[in-house]
Structure 1
């Protein structure tokens, strides 16, 4: 393994924490004897081209500095290769890092952990989801939650409260969504649902454990289907998501599958918080798709 490490940095992550986080993370890696090369990029497409070039050139690891969006972008470069991925989580959600047991908003500790993992071979093979030509590590969202994202992304006012405002607006307009789903190539099922979440990992949205029991190396998705709740039921169930307690509600079912076909009118899918495209789509679990730097046992 080469001693040159690629630091993949989002300078705008976490309201500017990305740029500041790169320095202590890089110092921790250099103190451990690694050479560090930083990749920024003019935009996401340019950054991805640059980090893919680093992977092709044989970098020893890619360390993504930022939030879930940056980790997801890095996955597009390292998935299916032998190059391990580390994460310095300084975004607003950090669900991918949390699922791996990595430090959150502590870039020096995350840098030290990455250095130790590289020196001691603490590398774990985990699954990824594949949908619409894109890899995802945490959750593919569709339905009420993705419509909240759609509305929030369209809003030009509201600041950091715009997604709270979007939730209220979507609740006021909410109607159950008619889905057509196919699990593991079986028969097509027609279901009325509030949302359907496809979990490679357990959480999204900064700790909302929508697929709370998902395991990242079992070769299966946890598909959480929240049925045709009314507004009152949805308001009661939704706060329980942060502890995973919603899974016991009679309107909630979970399926463990290796693939799912999803179709519904007027619904956009989001994967790792990033827009993936309109349904229909097929998501497939790919076992051992990426190598990640992880804490020791």
Structure 2
């Protein structure tokens, strides 16, 4: 029977996240599985706990949102350790890309019976060093919006991302980017550049409809300078992915993407990581084994 180590972000999802974990834990133990629970003090601590559990041949389960999911998944990338998710955060975008259920009973069945699926991860190099993330790397107004959302104390979930987006767009000045995709240099002036492994970011927004987590490619989405009123329309179209049909949006794909800008531009990954440009995102094909 499978042996699990659940690593919990105590702040993600609040009491609702703890409740989901308790229900899943009961179902796993009733089925005869072994389960131990660790509470992380930080994302770095969560990565250490994940590596230690993997070295003991345990299945590592991230409990929380995209921040802890990305951190633990990145730590396990390339190790062969099986990785499970209990989505209990604000965004849960990588779990959404995998098609994971949200009901405790269905999650328990996935953890108990599903085989591992090989999915891609993203190696990120920046002035802050090297890291590995799962969903996307983005530089521009969306990173600023995410920063506002993470600092919000009144709004939760999608509402915090939408409010953060409105605040970010209201003050954004278009940046001049230099984007290099598999060696091809591209000039871009606008709102953002996204290198996406997953279709989703920002709590269910479909930034890259063509992105797949197991195709060995990153979808590169660039939104160029446009009137603010049009950008607000684009924000609404992220719910369906229809924004990619507009002439202001350019979509490419590649295995390696470098993003530079003419000024300081906020940059993030997987809803949590604040980094700085220039940044290089490189796909690591099939490097993570996920139960889904």
TM-score by length of 2: 0.91
Alignment size in residue pairs: 285
Q: Residue 259 of structure 1 contacts residue 283 of structure 1 at CA under 8 Å; is this kept in 2?
A: yes
Q: Residue 39 of structure 1 contacts residue 51 of structure 1 at CA under 8 Å; is this kept in 2?
A: no
Q: Which residue of 2 aligns with 1:84?
A: 82
How many Å separate the matches in 1 of 2:286 and 2:211? 15
Q: Residue 13 of structure 2 contacts residue 64 of structure 2 at CA under 8 Å; is this kept in 1?
A: yes
* 1:73-119 C-alpha deviation (Å, 9 max, x unpaired): 21133111111111111212111111111112x233212221011xx
Q: Is residue 2:144 matched to residue 1:147?
A: yes
Q: Residue 7 of structure 2 contacts residue 49 of structure 2 at CA under 8 Å; is this kept in 1?
A: no
How many Å separate the matches in 2 of 1:43 and 1:170? 27
Q: Is residue 2:254 matched to residue 1:257?
A: yes
CA gap 1:250/1:123 in 2 versus in 1, 3 angstroms = same
How many Å separate the matches in 2 of 1:42 and 1:140? 24
Deviates more, 1:35-44 or 1:231-240: 35-44
Query: Which ranges in structure 1 are unaligned for 5 or more consecutive residues?
Result: none
Q: Is residue 2:123 matched to residue 1:130?
A: yes
Per-residue deviation, 1:189 = 2.2
Q: Which residue of 2 aligns with 1:3?
A: 2
How many Å separate the matches in 2 of 1:11 and 1:289? 27
Aligned positions of 1:1-297 closer than 5 A: 3-59=2-58, 61-104=59-102, 106-117=103-114, 122-132=115-125, 133-153=130-150, 159-160=155-156, 163-186=161-184, 188-264=185-261, 265-294=263-292
How many Å separate the matches in 2 of 1:83 and 1:153? 30
* Secondary structure in structure 2 of the residue aligned to 1:267: coil
How many Å separate the matches in 2 of 1:158 and 1:16? 16
How many Å separate the matches in 1 of 2:94 and 2:278? 25
Q: Residue 179 of structure 2 contacts residue 260 of structure 2 at CA under 8 Å; is this kept in 1?
A: yes
How many Å separate the matches in 2 of 1:162 and 1:96? 18
How many Å separate the matches in 2 of 1:236 and 1:81? 42
Per-residue deviation, 1:263 = 0.6
How many Å separate the matches in 2 of 1:171 and 1:47? 33
How many Å separate the matches in 1 of 2:205 and 2:163? 18
Across the aligned residues of Structure 1 and Structure 2, the Cα RMSD in angstroms comes to 1.9
* Secondary structure in structure 2 of the residue aligned to 1:243: coil
Query: Which ranges in structure 2 are unaligned for 5 or more consecutive residues?
Result: none
How many Å separate the matches in 2 of 1:6 and 1:168? 39
How many Å separate the matches in 2 of 1:216 and 1:292? 11
CA gap 1:94/1:150 in 2 versus in 1, 3 angstroms = closer
Q: Residue 88 of structure 1 contacts residue 111 of structure 1 at CA under 8 Å; is this kept in 2?
A: no
Per-residue deviation, 1:15 = 2.7
How many Å separate the matches in 2 of 1:43 and 1:146? 21
